[in-house]
Structure 1
Amino acid sequence: MDLLQQLVTIFAENGYVAVFIALMICGAGLPLPEDITLVAGGVIAGLGYANVHVMFALTMFGVLLGDCAIFLLGHHYGARILQWRFVARVLTPSRYVKVQEKFDHYGNRMLFFARFLPGMRTTVYLTAGTTHRVSFLRFLLIDTMAALISVPFWVYLGYFGANNHEWLVKWMHRGQSSLWVLIGLLLLTVLVLWWKHRRRTRCGLD
């Protein structure tokens, strides 16, 4: 948790701008975990250095901007981007082929679930852009839906745990599995609502 404390100190001293820059670094695929960055943003809000709702809006914008930048780079330059030295470190030819195969198998669902798989986001978004299999608007819609689950989860976790370090650390360790539970509950809710709507429609036709 040393990294979390370092980020909290930097963010507390420099405010929203530092959080936004850190998210741009995360989006570029550099070794700065997005979840810890979001938690740190929530922590400084909990400590009174920022407004938590403004922090949520800022981090949502920063996350989506970083994701879109990666996607559009891939979309504009295509497979040529794999020759860039920086990109080659993140997305090797063999990894690129594997991600393409996963797209063939799972389709656009890969874009949604990539947000919840640390270390996969940059490679998946770059590949989605280079292969031209999805439009920018569809990418933005899917990414926004996923970010609306993960971003508030981490930001508000940091906010509520700002003054209880042990509780915060415990839930950060549980965070990834808790996110999957949350996704499952949301999907179940959507399925139940869809089933009820379909049942009402059938009853109306009868």
Structure 2
Amino acid sequence: FLIIFVETGLVIMPFLPGDSLLFATGALIASTGTLNIYIVIPLLILAAISGDNSNYFIGRYIGERVLKIKWISKIVKPEYLVRTEQYFEKYGSRTVVIARFIPIVRTVTPFVAGVGEMKYFVFLSYSIIGACLWISGLTLLGYFFGNLEIIKNNFEIVVLVIIGISILPMIYQLVKSKVVKRG
């Protein structure tokens, strides 16, 4: 709960492993049966929505001042903000849902929505949709596939693959920006 809240709720924590953690949580529930998936998923959705709201209001009321703090600007690089703003320009409010599935952008999006003074209820609506899709999707993926023998025997590799897939869009954008600069 806390990791999901902090990853989505504090603009200074874009590096937490949300995707792999959700998959691992689902796999753990399936293999041990110690937790109830019908309780865990709503709690994690609540954590994600709460984190988004926290980050939105930090952006809305403190905004750019936060980014002028030296140690924060080293973690939340200007290019993260630019990339997130580009998503907003291209996809509008849907960015709040799309960003859930893109590491780093997922953390910066609520902050940028707050700084940009996106209407709160529009933000909240998209945040709820995104949180439900992200949390349910990855947790259930872990729940249904995490108990397979091949996954159990290669769990570390599976988690690394999930992390790799999660950062592919970021790598693509990085390569694309380098090519454009050279081109």
Give the TM-score category using the shorter length. 0.7 to 0.9
Classify the secondary structure of the residue corresponding to 1:71. Answer: helix
Bigger radius of gyration: 1
Query: What is the match of residue 124 of structure 1?
Result: 109
User: With CA pairs under 8 Å and 6+ residues apart, which has the higher RCO, 1 or 2?
Assistant: 2
1:157 partnered with 2:141: yes
- Alignment RMSD, CA only? 2.6
Encode CA deviations 1:157-192: one digit per residue, 9 max, x unaligned: 222234325247587647969xxxxxxxxxxxxxxx
* C-alpha spacing 1:102/1:36, structure 2 compared with 1 (3 Å): closer
Who is 1:136 aligned against?
A: 120
Among 131, 142, 147, which residue is 2:131 paired with? 147
CA contact (8 A) 1:90 1:123 kept: no
Post-superposition Cα deviations, 1:21-56, rounded to whole Å, max 9, x if no partner, equal: 221232232422111111222123211110011011
Q: What letter is aligned with 1:160? A: F
Q: Percent identity?
A: 25
* Partner in structure 1 of residue 2 of structure 2: 21
Q: Structure 2: which 5+ runs fail to align? A: 167-183
Gaps of 5+ in 1: 1-19, 178-206
Paired residues, number: 157
1:77 deviates by: 0.6
Report the alpha carbon displacement of residue 135 of structure 1 after superposing the two structures with TM: 1.7
Pairing 1:6-17 to 2, within 5 Å after superposition: none
TM-score for both structures, normalised by structure 2: 0.72
Q: What is the alpha-carbon distance in structure 2 between the residues aligned to residue 25 and residue 141 of structure 1?
A: 20
1:39 and 2:20 are equivalent in the alignment: no
SS at match of 2:60: helix
